[in-house]
Amino acid sequence: MKDQPPEGLRYPWDTPPAEGDAIEVAAGVLWMRLPLPMKLDHVNVYALDDGDSWTVIDAGFASKRSKAIWEGLMAGPLGGKPIARVVVTHHHPDHIGLAGWLQADHGAELVTTRTAWLMARMLTLDEQPVPSPETLTFYRDAGMAPDIMAERASERPFNFADIVAPLPLGYTRIQQGDTIRMGGRTWDIHIGNGHAPEHATFWSRDDNLVLAGDQILPSISPNIGVYATEPMADPIADWLEACERLAGLARADHLVLGGHKLPFTGLPMRMRQLIDNHHGALKRLLEYLDTPKSAGECFAPLFKRKIGSAEYGLALVEAVAHLSHLYQDGLATRSRGADDAWVYQRKG
């Protein structure tokens, strides 16, 4: 079923580009898609015409299929002109996966934030055949279901190295307040947080385009999770701060080119929805904490739907994020439950 736009949001294109094809969404700006082997089955990538070369935004998973699609795009819609730069919005593998390949095999310059590069390079070098003791402790603390815990303890975990090409040494840093010239336009760089640390977004000074990555999506909310790497992180606070700040830049005529789903207009309303959705989730969660509950027991008020096995991991880390935010904000207490998981209860 096609996504139904909320009032105020408009989708100029109701059909995405076919595999290997591109749609010109503005002069010199091409929208393309790469496949993902998950429920969210695609990532959007963009190419901006720099005259004698292209700048591409994000790169997709590292896989033989994605490489073949890129090579077809280079020969077809990109007209044989080289890709001189790959600009990566954030470090997640569906966005940085083939950036190293574009560097090593095609001579592209990698442009991204310092945190994105450091996170991606660190994670590609940290290959684990089974979950680390710290990860298993994190799962226990979160109240992971025992049967899932037992299964995951002996399985090869998610590894960046499996789906992210090696990143050569060297990149060009971008940060808050910078500008960058791409596709005949000057873009202001504004940094988001929450979904990924130091997530870059790009706002054209010359027309109405916004390259938003996963910081701003039209019909889904980006996953906001806490992980074993930083168990006391508060990405919900980071997310809300970033959304409020970026909302001040939003215009109704902005054409938002995001990392997933369809390009859209109506950005002021969407920013308010993204903010309100999380405040609503926190309110529901706090009401649910009349008795002590672990993250693994809090899916119902947060997601309002059944969580399947494929979504369990992302749901768990998002539940941890919301609970920890309430705890760190002084609205809930935290103590050890009978199974040694952290359990949370609202104050008063």
Task: State how far the Cα of 300 lies from the Cα of 293, in Å rounded to an integer.
Answer: 12
pLDDT confidence of 269, banded at 50, 70, 90? very high
User: Do residues 16 and 43 make contact, with C-beta atoms less than 8 angstroms apart?
Assistant: no
In CATH, what class is 23-132+158-287? alpha beta
Q: Residue 188 region, left (φ>0) first, then alpha (ψ -120 to 50), else beta?
A: beta
CA distances from 278 to 58, 237, 244, 254, 273 (A): 27, 10, 12, 23, 9
Q: Across residues 142-160, what is the average pLDDT? A: 94
pLDDT confidence of 3, banded at 50, 70, 90? very low
Q: Across residues 237-248, what is the average pLDDT? A: 98
* 121-143 pLDDT, tens digit each: 999 999 999 999 999 999 999 99
Provide the β-strand partners of residue 189. Answer: 202
Task: Give the strands of the sheet with 185-192, arranged side by side.
Answer: 179-182, 185-192, 199-204, 209-213, 255-258
User: Do residues 99 and 116 make contact, with C-beta atoms less than 8 angstroms apart?
Assistant: no
Spans of all domains in the chain: 23-132+158-287
* 161-198 pLDDT, tens digit each: 999 999 999 999 999 999 999 999 999 999 999 999 99
Model pLDDT, residue 1? 29
User: Do residues 56 and 47 make contact, with C-beta atoms less than 8 angstroms apart?
Assistant: yes
Q: What is the 8-class DSSP label of residue 53?
A: S
Model pLDDT, residue 41? 95
CA 189 to chain centre: 17
pLDDT confidence of 309, banded at 50, 70, 90? confident
User: Do residues 289 and 136 make contact, with C-beta atoms less than 8 angstroms apart?
Assistant: no
* 190-240 pLDDT, tens digit each: 999 999 999 999 999 999 999 999 999 999 999 999 999 999 999 999 999
Phi, psi of 247 (to 5 degrees): -60, -30
Model pLDDT, residue 259? 98
Model pLDDT, residue 78? 98
